[in-house]
Amino acid sequence: MSDTVETQLFINGAARPASDGGTYDIFNPARPSELVGRAAAGTPDDVEAAMKAAHRAFPAWAALSYAERAEMVRKVAAAITQDMEEVEARARLFTREHGKIVFETRLEISRLGERFLQCANYADRLEQDEHIKAAPNDTIITRQPRCVAALVVPWNWPLVILGAKLPQALMAGNTVVVKPSANSALAPAMTLSRIAEMLPPGVVNIVTGSASRIGDAIIGHPLVRFLNFTGSVDVGRHVMKVTAENITPVTLELGGNDAGIVCHDADLTGDVFQRLYRASFMSTGQICYALKRLYVHKSRYDEVVAGLRTVVDAQVIGDGLLPETTMGPMNNAKQLKVVANMIAEARAADQDVHELGQVPDQELYQNGYFQRPALVLNADVSLSVVRKEQFGPILPIIPFETEVEAIAMANDDPFGLASSIWTADTQRAVALARKIEAGYTFVNAHGPSAMDNNGPFGGFKKSGIGRNFGYEGVTQFQGLHSIAGGPGMIL
């Protein structure tokens, strides 16, 4: 792979440039003057071509059995993960365009393959209809694919999040049009093209480009029968308005301001502080369900702060391709400014802010989109670092006296994506988890490294609508169909 790459659209079984030949540049967030590559800048005409290709391909794809689709999905999983030299090249490209450490980009590629395999394994279960024998009719409850599904993928974990949408849509029997984020399009486009070329023409189509130019053309297209979007609340609100015109059903995975509660009996031995660190700061904190607010029982507060501080301060901030680096830059200048402003606000309010971590290359740090990981101790709950999603390497830590108080603070938030309970008492953990207004609760862990993909994932409140992952992540791409007949007619 050369130092600079170019990616194209992929429509109706073939790679192609944008209809007007346009491209856009993608730079390395660790070295913002370094051009990593150019992606095709799709147009509304390209969107139209992709939608029509997906629509034409749908009848034949939907007519396949689940077993037949599963066989193809398994072959895709092998193709994108087994050539280790090619996987490593894509991972390093991904690090250069995104910023995250290369360990995480390798993880994304492997997780994508795992999620294809997982969905293929649902084939037998998906084949089963539900039968109801009861007067006045016997009823078969079955499901059918919706047709064209549009999948909109964000920049922070594009391949992992693609794995929550694409194999599910394909196993359900839909054809798809995928739009990767313009901020991280090169490695995702290359991966998607490899997937698309293994399937019948038109089953998977990829259109890259700016949301301002092609976003509404995709989400508002009349051929789209289902939309799965991951992104911010503001954009999610816009998506709902646009899709309302065609009454298009949607799954929206939006923001999160995840709370973690460390109880008085939490086990703080072993690797617990490494787990807490990963929960909050993995991928430089740019994860929708990262730990973003940590509530700690006052009897364990100093212990937690000391343990976390030691682990966080040991991190090495730098270029994600370097083997010694454990935290890369933020992906873009806009998000860096959001986090920097939160830290500035906390300092202006005389908060106890600790920016930690080791910076071996100060010049690189100053020129790139870097932010040292920060802890805000005894954080004022009125500050934006507590009230808003940071989406960066900053964690407020807040003491509490009673579990009732902790639950109330955790739920006092417009988001409800994920959460965590840290305790040695599993009964307490489950009891407290049931009281948290969130779609997913971890016990003694938090974040991607602890995710069980067999369970549905999504949020309450402004964190979204619908669920990804698990068996339910496949069936969301289908519509229920009841077939009724008199007693003994159909069953």
Catalytic residue, from 97, 288, 389, 403: name it. 288
Contact 379, 386 (CB under 8 A): yes
Instruction: Tell me whether residue 288 is one of the annotated catalytic residues.
Output: yes
Q: Which residue is catalytic, options 253, 263, 389, 403?
A: 253
Q: How far apart are CA 363 and CA 311, in angstroms?
A: 24
Q: Is residue 335 within 8 Å of residue 286, measured between CB atoms?
A: yes
- Beta strands per DSSP E along 42-188: 130-134, 137-145, 148-152, 175-179
Residues 307 and 329: their CA atoms lie apart, in Å, by 24
Scanning 198-271, the segments in alpha helix (DSSP H) are: 211-219, 233-244
d(CA 470, CA 40): 33
**What pairing do the DSSP bridges indicate for beta strands 5-7 and 31-40?**
parallel
Q: CA-CA distance, 202 to 459, in Å (whole number)?
A: 32
Query: How many CB atoms within 10 Å of residue 163?
Result: 26
Tokens 């003694």 correspond to: 444
Residue 139, classed as helix, strand or coil, is strand
Instruction: Round to whole Å and give the CA distance between 110 and 438.
Output: 28
Q: Which residues contact 389 (CB under 8 A, 6 or more apart)?
A: 255, 256, 257, 292, 415
Pick from 160, 155, 69: nearest CA to 468: 160
88 is catalytic: no
Going from the C-alpha of 186 to that of each of 7, 175, 215, 329, 330, the distances in angstroms are 6, 22, 18, 18, 17
What amino acid is encoded at 311 in this protein? V
- Enumerate the active-site residues: 253, 288
